[in-house]
Amino acid sequence: MAESTDSPTPAAEATRPARDRPWVMRTYAGHSSAAASNELYRRNLAKGQTGLSVAFDLPTQTGYDPDHVLSRGEVGKVGVPISHIGDMRKLFDQIPLGEMNTSMTINAVAMYLLAMYQVAAEEQAEAAGQDPAEVVAKLGGTTQNDIIKEYLSRGTHVFPPGPSMRLITDMVTYTVGEIPKWNPINICSYHLQEAGATPVQEVAYAMSTAIAVLDAVRDSGRVPQEEFGRVVARISFFVNAGVRFVEEMCKMRAFVELWDEITRERYGVTEAKQRRFRYGVQVNSLGLTEAQPENNVQRIVLEMLAVTLSKDARARAVQLPAWNEALGLPRPWDQQWALRLQQVLAFESDLLEYDDLFAGSPVVEAKVADIVAGAKAEIDRIQDMGGAVPAVESGYMKSALVASHAKRRQRIEAGEDIVVGVNKFETTEPNPLTADLDTAIQTVDEGVEEAAIEAVRAWRSERDADPERGGRATASLESLRETARTDENLMEASLECARAGVTVGEWAQALREVFGEFRAPTGVSGSVGVADGGSQELQAVRDRVARTQEELGEKLRVLVGKPGLDGHSNGAEQIAVRARDAGFEVIYQGIRLTPDQVVSAAVAEDVHLVGVSILSGSHMELVPDVLEGLKAQGAGDIPVIVGGIIPESDAKRLTEMGVAAVFTPKDFGLNEIMDRFVDIIREQRGLPAQEPATA
């Protein structure tokens, strides 16, 4: 008989290795107003969130005040409106900036938002009896500030490439000395993947952007060579992680390997810590589905694993979308759920107790080598063109992304790529999470825009009524213009604008007057569509288009328009490419148009159908403007269809207003959409009905 003991055997003792520190946990948040967003931030921080990720609304991102004509319908929808230093104070009220890690998704006007952030921190320090300079030196966080990917995928650019690179260079050289813990740029490949980038393209284009920025900083002569490692150490990246999590994890290891090689060999950085690949991540919102949205939870978890499992390539900060982002704006509870996913992995699992799980894996090593080799070849191709900026200006990079996206859509349509609940396993039980769609998402109060317009007008009026304040604002804007005409750093002039109460719209307009504006290539005309004649379905649609043209005696013309400030053009581009492949003549003028411009193009081109794409939630304001504009021009008989993230109740209202059809993310079949185009045109022109090609 075994000898009894009062103490447990060694097997009963849990072995618990030391744990690594978790990554910074964020949720991407902001809406309605600075005060409402501040309340949301403080609630999220109280729930264990360890950093802030600020979502700005589209007028703020594109340098317009709420009362500008292009801001109509966009204020407070996809983020928080920040127009001046007063808004910035409210946004971070009771949040000590010297102790916070804040990521700001801002690009074209990044310099001014950073200037206001610094001034707000200085004011907090003075109110607390602290030294403002010491607090500024402690500021930690990131301004995204990657204008290259804006030209390629997101569309919130303002200025041409040359001046945009100058603004980035000014910020980098300023922060490395004055705000040494700040990341002045976040090379952002996230939206490149959403625009169709393969892993090789995502790595290559991000690295090409980083090379362009670092070359510009080096060539400015403002940072001595012996201190250049400090610049490299503050360059961070923001990436996307899709559901193919093994490939995505290998992509991250490829990023790490390439960044170490480029910074060592091209820039002579000898300190390994300065060469570390530092990145944050939001997992793939594009892959979230409107159909069976509960499946998005497991997609998000798998995508999070891609950037956390490998210790040698682990993200420094993670923010997860909510399960219902394909339906509309997530509620605070939905954002809490996304945060809890991170916390369970970091604190309940044993992931952070081990070294890298994939070191020495021949499968992983082979895949990483494959991505690295492909990325190097593409980087060399871009460098042969003169670098990332010429590759943007020529339209090469944009066309390549549109082509990659088109091929991805074709694979989904053909069933080669399975999306559960969308093109396979479509039968489903009723979803209790979406039983009441109007309460399954958060909606922005209709009075938000009007309140913001009144507030910014009152701010400017009160400022200008005070001779001292008004005079200071006028002088600061003139100084900004004068500095922009030189090669001096624009950061100090921007800080003075912030202190003087200049608005974002005024700051951006002053620089527009000096730098001009830029409309990036759409990538549609040079993009590869269906190269082999397409599927039988597409050929059948093409036949219907040809027969309809014969009956009408004219070419069928379709206008694809993007009114408002929404720069998410991927869907519009794919519609334009497929319509061209189906035999339509396509008019696509790119992003950021007023409803009047869409109407004018439709009338001038004598189109048979207008397709309006809006993903920012401004459809209920902008689509009626298009409909009314067409009627006013005597073209009210032109059918209008609408695509975007549109709740069912809004779709019903749009149809009642006269919209011919509404398409949402669940309508992934482009051939079916083209088929509907033909049906709608034939019905409007009084032609007899035909058998649909995709029935």
Which of 347, 197, 206, 203 lies closest to 284 in space, CA to CA? 197
Q: Is residue 276 part of a domain?
A: yes
Question: Which residue positions in the chain have pLDDT lower than 50?
Answer: 527-528, 531
Q: Is residue 461 part of a domain?
A: no
**Residue in 65, 67, 334, 566 annotated catalytic:** 566
Q: Is residue 433 part of a domain?
A: no
Q: Is residue 290 part of a domain?
A: yes
Domain match, 407 and 544 both: no
Mark whether 77 is an active-site residue.
Answer: no
pLDDT tens-place string over residues 356-396: 999 999 999 999 999 999 999 999 999 999 999 999 989 89
pTM: 0.89
pLDDT tens-place string over residues 400-435: 998 898 888 888 888 899 999 988 999 999 989 888
pLDDT score recorded for residue 527: 47
Q: Is residue 446 part of a domain?
A: no
Helix runs in 221-319, H state only? 228-233, 245-265, 296-306
Split into its structural domains, the chain has a count of: 2
Domain end: 411, 442, 475, which one? 411
CATH number at residue 346: 3.20.20.240
**Residue in 138, 149, 157, 191 annotated catalytic:** 191
Which of 316, 298, 309 lies closest to 235 in space, CA to CA? 316
Q: Is residue 5 part of a domain?
A: no
N-term to C-term CA, the chain = 78
Domain end: 411, 442, 470, which one? 411
Q: Is residue 435 part of a domain?
A: no
Residues 60, 64, 69, 70, Cα dihedral to 10°: -60
> Taking each helix axis from N to C terminus, what angle separates 245-265 and 362-384, rounded to the nearest 10 degrees?
50
Greatest C-alpha distance within the chain: 101
Mark whether 566 is an active-site residue.
Answer: yes
Q: How far is CA 289 from the centre of its chain?
A: 17
Contacts of 613 (CB under 8 A, 6+ apart): 560, 561, 562, 566, 569, 571, 572, 575, 642, 643, 644
Q: What are phi and psi of 147, to 5 degrees?
A: -80, -25
Domain extent, residue 123, equals 24-411
CA distance 255 to 472: 47
Domain end: 352, 380, 411, which one? 411
What string of H, E and C letters represents the secondary structure of 38-68?
A: HHHHHHHHHCCCCCEEEEECHHHHCCCCCCC
The residue behind tokens 């940072």 is 223
Domain match, 406 and 544 both: no
Domain match, 406 and 545 both: no
CATH number at residue 660: 3.40.50.280
Mark whether 568 is an active-site residue.
Answer: yes
Mark whether 90 is an active-site residue.
Answer: no
Give whole-number Cα distances, 686 to 12, 428, 618, 690, in Å: 81, 39, 32, 12
pLDDT score recorded for residue 2: 52
Q: Is residue 127 part of a domain?
A: yes
**Residue in 190, 267, 279, 588 annotated catalytic:** 190
**Residue in 28, 41, 64, 151 annotated catalytic:** 28
